[in-house]
Structure 1
Amino acid sequence: MASDETPRFAADRMLMRLARWLRLAGADVIADDSIDGAGLLRRARIENRILLTRDKRLRTASDVFFVESNDLREQLRGVLGHFAIDPTAHAFTRCSRCNAVLAPVERELVSRRVPPYVFASHDRFAECLSCGRIYWPETHQNRIAVILESMKPLSHGGTK
């Protein structure tokens, strides 16, 4: 992998919440809780992905990142830090459910697909190109952005 490429991940069934949060940060993360660790490792290798796992049996493989913590924020901080990923650079560009890229969609095209109060109070929408889920800026996105911002490493000056 070239140094300027963002790593692609596969998260095992023990790390489904981490996968969702990495997607919110814009990372390409597949996760399928119906596939066992060995099967997911095979798929990750075929797709040139790094397997994120808590399975101690897989921790010695060179293309596996073993996640030590049980705490979601520590897991997220660990992966983002280890792979030098800026959690805000591509935030909210992937579907948190299925991992597909989001695309802007015209407001008029979502009028019957979102609640009336959402349509009336928002101008910008994005659609998942795979599952069709609609996203819009909301207060929970602001809370997520604050959490992602807190995952950035400290600058040389000692402040965030």
Structure 2
Amino acid sequence: MMRPRLAAAALAIALSPVSLSAQEQRPEGDPVIAVETTDARMNEATAEARATSAKWLAVVENPPVGATNITFKFPLEGYEHIWVLDVARDGDYVTGRLANNPHAEGWSYGDPVRVALSDISDWGYVDAVGKAHGYYTVRVMLDYMSEEQAAEVRRQYGFDD
């Protein structure tokens, strides 16, 4: 019996493009890394992102000087965890535009979304010195990448600093 999978949109946020060879790829969408819904580390990363989301919301509402790439991830259509940019808070929701080309039918890169705060599965931003904050699920996805890809992501996100 096949276990359900979540498709995590592959790091195509605006930090700078990262080329990933995907485990599953359809030509109409960005590369994805498929992760089992039962993956304990990914579930822990999502829980940590949710538990620390107040820190991120403070950045959304009052961005520090030099902060860029204020973003969040949510499960589009319930399964494709995808990044969103141009973020604004709207009460118990956040709004923005899809930062990846989704696989979910009827959606495209740049489409506007309105997402309940409780549906956020990850968040991130880059500070004035170029250090990435958040991106909990990205750190887990490093183990699903080749050594070269993971090293490039670590370098771009400043994870090894």
TM over 0.5: no
* TM-score (normalised: structure 2): 0.30
Question: More strand by proportion, 1 or 2?
Answer: 2
Question: More helix by proportion, 1 or 2?
Answer: 1
Between Structure 1 and Structure 2, whose CA radius of gyration is higher? Answer: 1
